[in-house]
Amino acid sequence: MKKIFFLFLLLYAHIISSEEIKNPSLEIYFQWILFRTQGRISDEKESSRIFALASPAVFGFKFEKSTEQFRSDLEWYLVTTPNSGTFFLPGRNSYFGILYKGLLWGAGRKSDPEEFPAWSFWKDGVEGLFAETELDRIKIRFDILDLYRGFPLLENQWLKLQGRESFLPKSAREELVSEKDYSLNSQSRYRAGISLTGYKEDRLVYRFRVRYLSLGDWGKFGSDTKESKSESIEGDRDYLVEWRLGLGFLWRYFYISGDLFLSRGIDKTGYHPSRFERSIPISGEALRFDLGFYNTHGKISIFGFLPDREKRSSQGEVLELGFVGMGASPIANPILQQVWGFYPSAWITDQGLEREETNFPGKRPANLLGWKAEGKFSGISTGIHFTYIGFLKEENSSSGLWTISSKNIQNKFLREAGVSISWSPSEDNSAKIELDLGGFESDETTGLKQWYMLFRIVGVWK
């Protein structure tokens, strides 16, 4: 791996010295964020309040250049934190590559193609070595060596890096925050795959992807089996294969898209009499959709995400894991996404395979249904969104089959919403002043309410 990496560096230096740079661009960013959150959690025993304030500064740069033989797209950010001082994060793309025989041979981070509007926060990509075709209507990418770590980005990490424990009530902090969260260090595992994205007459979008992830002993399978509550069980030779098939149609003012996800794999764990082997199979499905209207001034969309749940015995023991997701969280709400660590199913995060049985927002199978609207007029951009999160039942017997029956949904839920307004003097919104207001509330039994205010100033020098 190191030899290959240094080989790319040598080729990079050679090309820079021998090729004339065509249309290079450099952008330097500065952001200042003021974030405040307040809320409360109430139950029969006690009521505790939540209050926290953060004001991180962010510095970043983006550099792009291309020649007939070479391409570079570098983007990095530095985030200030109260504990560790500073933290570096790559942007969506941060790679250099060589164009050879119709392929871009690259090293670094390359993000997956843009998703439809409702799923713009659910980002993923390759971090390592890849090869990608350069055709007009179809792109095929081979992820040769992908060091997967959850695809951390500025948009889904800046608040978490401030220390999520300071934004949580004590009862939730003890249950959800581990020692690894305090370290702010992510881990990675080998992943490989192939993805295809095609376009036909600018109306049809089709996508296919398959990825293999070697989990190894990454992540504790601790809270979703009863026997592991009394002993620490580490995974061993675990793996996950994810399949995705997606279609999208675009008309003059209307679009619709749908994606089917399949998860297959093994999570080895301790012995239990309800299972024949010392392992829990992973066999899950999920469906997501996004439909809406758009024009030059904005768009309105309705979206949903429907995963299956685990297969459980009559006593509630997990016999088979359902859908397991990868990539960043699909939720845009910063406190749900980064503070509470909510994902709508079991998920492979930067800490490995995570699945939580808790009354708090966490890694739990849940249906998402919502809508969002965005508009832009004379440099002013506005947005509003609402999402209903209905948690799937966990305590009773389940076949694990995918279904949309209301009988599988608990009476526990979350409702989250937010509004935003920003002004930018530039058409690309690279420099702007932004104000976001939002929050969420749970059912009365959980008794959780929390809101946030975000004020952001972004400056850019080109």
pLDDT class of 24 with cuts at 50, 70, 90: low
Nearest to 186, CA basis, from 55, 93, 283, 88: 88
Mean pLDDT confidence for 184-209: 89
Number of residues assigned to the chain? 462
Is 276 a residue whose pLDDT tops 50? yes
Written as six digits, the tokens of 335 are 């406190």
Alpha-helical runs (H) found in 46-184: 154-157, 170-176, 179-183
**Per-residue pLDDT reduced to its tens digit, 254-267:** 999 999 999 999 88
The bridge status of strand 346-349 relative to strand 324-326 is parallel
Q: How confident is the model over 166-180, as a mean pLDDT?
A: 79
> Model-level pTM?
0.86
Q: Which CATH superfamily is domain 2-461 in?
A: Porin (2.40.160.10)
What distance in Å separates the CA atoms of residue 413 and residue 368, rounded to the nearest whole number? 10
**C-alpha to C-alpha distances, 227 to 44, 271, 394, 437, nearest whole angstrom:** 29, 8, 16, 43
- How sure is the predictor about 202, in pLDDT bands with cuts at 50, 70 and 90? confident
Q: What per-residue confidence (pLDDT) applies to 179?
A: 60
3-state SS, residue 324: strand
291-313 pLDDT tens trace: 999 998 999 999 999 999 888 88
Query: By the 8 A CB rule, do 393 and 259 touch?
Result: no
Closest by Cα among 292, 109, 113, 101 to 208: 113
Q: How high is the pLDDT of residue 20?
A: 45
Q: What is the pLDDT, as a whole number, of residue 359?
A: 85
Q: Of 396, 392, 394, 393, nearest to 314 (Cα)?
A: 396
Mean per-residue pLDDT, 45-59: 82
Distance (Å, rounded) from C-alpha 259 to C-alpha 247?
Answer: 7
In sequence order, the 6+-apart residues with CB closer than 8 A to the CB of 157 are 79, 87, 89, 338
Element (H, E) at 240: strand 238-250
| CA of residue 412 relative to chain centroid, distance | 23
Confidence (pLDDT) at 9: 40
Q: What is the DSSP letter of 200?
A: E
Instruction: Identify which of 340, 439, 446 has the alpha carbon closest to the alpha carbon of residue 36.
Output: 439
Residue 395: per-residue pLDDT: 73
Q: What is the mean pLDDT of the chain?
A: 84
Could you give the CA distance from residue 189 to residue 353 in angstroms, rounded to a whole number? 11
Q: Which of 124-138, 270-284, 315-329, 423-437 has the lowest mean pLDDT?
A: 270-284
Q: How far apart are CA 301 and CA 368, in angstroms?
A: 14
DSSP string, 351-389: TEEE----SSSSB--EEEEEEEEEEEETTEEEEEEEEEE
What is the C-alpha separation between 368 and 244, in angstroms, rounded?
Answer: 19
| 67 compared with 241, residue with greater pLDDT | 241
Q: What are the DSSP calls for 2-40, one per residue?
A: HHHHHHHHHHHHHHHHHS--EEEEEEEEEEEEEEEEEEE
* Per-residue pLDDT, 396: 72
- How buried is 31 (Cβ within 10 angstroms: 0-12 exposed, 13-18 middle, 19+ buried)? buried
In this prediction, residue 14 has a pLDDT band, given cuts at 50, 70 and 90, of very low
What mean pLDDT is predicted for residues 142-155? 95
Structure tokens at 352: 């490995």
CA dist 428 and 424 (Å) reads 8
Instruction: Say yes or no to pLDDT of 336 above 90.
Output: yes
Instruction: Output the pLDDT for position 26.
Output: 79
pLDDT at 273: 52
Cβ-proximal residues to 142 (8 Å cutoff; 6+ apart), any chain: 130, 131, 132, 194
Q: Which residue has the higher pLDDT, 448 or 179?
A: 448
Highest mean pLDDT among 99-108, 186-195, 214-223: 99-108
Q: What angle do CA 449, 347, 147 make, to 5 degrees?
A: 130
Residue 424, φ and ψ in degrees, nearest 5: -135, 135
Q: How many CB atoms lie within 10 A of CB 256?
A: 16
**pLDDT for 300:** 96
Pairwise pLDDT comparison (17 vs 283), residue with the higher score: 283
User: Is 228 a residue whose pLDDT tops 70?
Assistant: no
User: Is the pLDDT assigned to residue 43 strictly greater than 70?
Assistant: no
| Least confident among 157-166, 189-198, 383-392 | 157-166
Residue 27 CB partners (closer than 8 Å, separation 6+): 61, 62, 63, 430, 460, 461, 462
Is the per-residue pLDDT at 224 higher than 50?
A: no
Q: Over range 448-460, report the average pLDDT.
A: 94
Half-sphere exposure of 374 (CA within 13 A, CB side): 13
Q: Where are the domains of the chain?
A: 2-461
User: How does pLDDT run across 91-101, given as a tens digit for each residue?
Assistant: 999 999 999 98
What are the backbone angles phi and psi of residue 239, rounded to the nearest 5°? Answer: -150, 160
Q: Among 16-20, 249-253, 432-436, whose mean pLDDT is lowest?
A: 16-20
